[in-house]
Structure 1
Amino acid sequence: MRRETLERHQVWVYLGAVAVGLISGSLLPGLSDTADALLWPVLALLLYATFTQVPMASVPAAFTEGRFIAAALLGNFVLLPAVVWALIQFIPADQALQLGLLLVLLVPCTDWFITFSQLGSGDATRATALTPVLLVLQLLLLPLYLWLMADADLRVVFAPADVWPAFVVVLLPLGLAVLTELWAARSRTGAGVVLRLGWWPVPLLAVVVLLVAVAQVGSVLAGAQLLPVVLGVVVLFLGISLLLSRSLAGVARLDPAQGRTLAFSMGTRNSFIVLPLALALPAGWETVAIVVVMQSLVELLGMIFCLWFVPRVLFPDPCSPTGERQPRVR
């Protein structure tokens, strides 16, 4: 199997993993403790594999594309946070539901955004250069966004005694990934390791969602009534993000490939980064992790639609003087 084939069909892998996890957790409730114990190391391994695919050395190159980077940063860190704030004003007054949606919708994706940009005829080179910029800025800005928008007392919710494992699970793989990238830049062996690690995120994420389903099956079933709310907010967010990307691309005079990349950047969110924080919250806040997982699955289904809609409707190839579509340049 080619890696591109696996990534194209990843949503079905994750849905299957959720189904297996819910069934296993329901039939064998004793598995929940084992799933809890395995979840953190598997999640750390997933983040390490994912971060090795984020080329930190590309940060300077990203800023050579002034109009594109300006549109991406304005869309992801100014316009979309305002959209998220507006959307949560209309959801039920449930602090865990609100916090879950804030966590996952405020941070732009740094992993399958590149995959979907490539599959959707975007500019994978610019997507790759943009990714480390998005990662650094979201780590810096997320606490500010939560402080401004969340109703919950974050000093209680994110008590250091509860959430320090989450920061370790994020920062340690990030540091190791940077060291691995430096090794890959100087060694053919290291470059080969990074290439092979590119296969890991999809199966590892499938294992993570399976373990979450097993460990949280009670919370998932109890919170099933939240699915319509999460579905509605996520679908509305995706629709607004696509419209905003079209407007921004027009203002910035981006070509169709750049516009598609912008659309996938604004439409995808970084559930990998915030899932450790959601899982580390104290008792009573289990809904936050469930919302994060729900959002990622709904988003992936939305990306199946976007792979058709973005290159054919939102940012179609320009027509030649005869009215025929010009061939795409890969």
Structure 2
Amino acid sequence: MDRLTLERNQVWLYLGGICAGLLLGSLAPELGGTLEYLLWPALIALLYATFVQMPLLHVREAFRDHRFVGAVLLGNFLLVPLLVWALLQWLPPDPALRLGVLLVLLVPCTDWFITFSQLGGGNVPRAIAVTPINLLLQLALLPLYLWLMLDQGVALELNLLDLWPALLVVLIPLALAALSERWIEARPGRDLWRERLAWWPVPLLAVVVFLIAGAQAEAVRSALSELLVVVPVFVAFLLAVPYMAMLLARLLALPRDHARTLAFSLGTRNSFVVLPFALALPAGWEVAAMVIVLQSVIELFGMVFYLWWIPRKLFK
């Protein structure tokens, strides 16, 4: 089996991991603490294996295509936040539910967006080049978006400064990936390390969702009705953002393959990067992490639809 086949069928791995985790958590709830303990090193490994695929030391080169980068930045960091704010108004006033939606929908994807761009006839070099820009900007702007869109009482209750351990879970793999990139580029033949690690994000993410489902099985059962409320919001998001991409592509006269890549960038979200922050929230906020996992599953089915819709209907 090649890597592209693995990535094409990843949704079934994740669904299997979630179902197995929920089953284990229901049959053996005493394992919840152990599963949660194992989750953090699994997340660090996942983030490192993903970040090492990005050209982190070549951010400047991504700005050479001004029109494409401008479209990506306008879409992901202006139009999408406005859409997310509008969709938020349709949700019940549950702060944990709303926080989970904001965390996952405000951050553009930096991993499987590249795979789906390739499968959907997009421009893979452009997709790879723009990923470090998306990653760095989302980490910088996410606190501002949350401050603007969350009730101030919620922000005070959370005390976001207490989430610094989760920030380390993201920054440590990011720093290690940058050092690895420098090491790989220092001598020919070392790129084999990156190629081998490219196999790992899919199985590692399957492990992560298995551990989350197992650790939070009881919370999932008690919050099932709340979780179903966000499904229409995530579906509406997936249906709306390709039209944003179409508008930007026409305004900036993007080539067809660039426009397809833009649509996949706006449609995919960076769920596993914000997972550490959701998991680090205090007791009573477990729904936020479950919302993020649910969005990932819905998004993957949405990407299957995108692979037909975007190249055959929107950007023919």
Partner of 1:156: 157
Report deviation, 1:170: 0.4
What CA distance in whole angstroms lies between the structure 2 residues aligned with 1:18 and 1:153? 29
* Distance 1:181-1:269 versus aligned 2 partners, 3 A rule: same
State whether residues 118 and 124 of structure 2, in contact with CA within 8 Å, keep that contact through their aligned partners in structure 1. Answer: yes
Aligned residues: 315
Which amino acid in structure 1 is aligned with residue 78 of structure 2?
V
What CA distance in whole angstroms lies between the structure 2 residues aligned with 1:32 and 1:221? 14
Which amino acid in structure 2 is aligned with residue 154 of structure 1?
A
Report deviation, 1:97: 0.5
Report deviation, 1:255: 1.1
State whether residues 158 and 281 of structure 1, in contact with CA within 8 Å, keep that contact through their aligned partners in structure 2. Answer: no
State whether residues 18 and 210 of structure 2, in contact with CA within 8 Å, keep that contact through their aligned partners in structure 1. Answer: yes
Partner of 1:115: 115
Report deviation, 1:95: 0.5
Report deviation, 1:228: 2.7
Moved more, 60-69 or 291-300: 60-69
What CA distance in whole angstroms lies between the structure 1 residues aligned with 2:190 and 2:26? 42
Tell me the secondary structure at the aligned position of residue 177 of structure 2. helix
What CA distance in whole angstroms lies between the structure 1 residues aligned with 2:287 and 2:258? 36
Report deviation, 1:189: 4.9
Partner of 1:20: 20
Tell me the secondary structure at the aligned position of residue 153 of structure 1. helix
Deviations 1:107-142 (A, max 9, x none): 100111111101111000000011000011101100
Tell me the secondary structure at the aligned position of residue 64 of structure 1. coil
Report deviation, 1:153: 2.8
What CA distance in whole angstroms lies between the structure 2 residues aligned with 1:126 and 1:142? 24
**TM-score, normalising length from structure 1?**
0.93
What CA distance in whole angstroms lies between the structure 2 residues aligned with 1:241 and 1:101? 16
Moved more, 203-212 or 222-231: 222-231
2:170 matched to 1:170?
yes
Percent identity over the alignment?
56
State whether residues 271 and 296 of structure 1, in contact with CA within 8 Å, keep that contact through their aligned partners in structure 2. Answer: yes
Report deviation, 1:155: 3.7
What CA distance in whole angstroms lies between the structure 2 residues aligned with 1:106 and 1:159? 17
Report deviation, 1:194: 1.1
**TM-score, normalising length from structure 2?**
0.97
What CA distance in whole angstroms lies between the structure 2 residues aligned with 1:18 and 1:187? 41
Which amino acid in structure 2 is aligned with residue 157 of structure 1?
L
State whether residues 91 and 230 of structure 2, in contact with CA within 8 Å, keep that contact through their aligned partners in structure 1. Answer: no
Partner of 1:81: 81
Deviations 1:39-58 (A, max 9, x none): 00000110010100111133
Partner of 2:95: 95
What CA distance in whole angstroms lies between the structure 2 residues aligned with 1:48 and 1:158? 27
Unaligned runs of 5+ in 2: none
Moved more, 47-56 or 206-215: 47-56
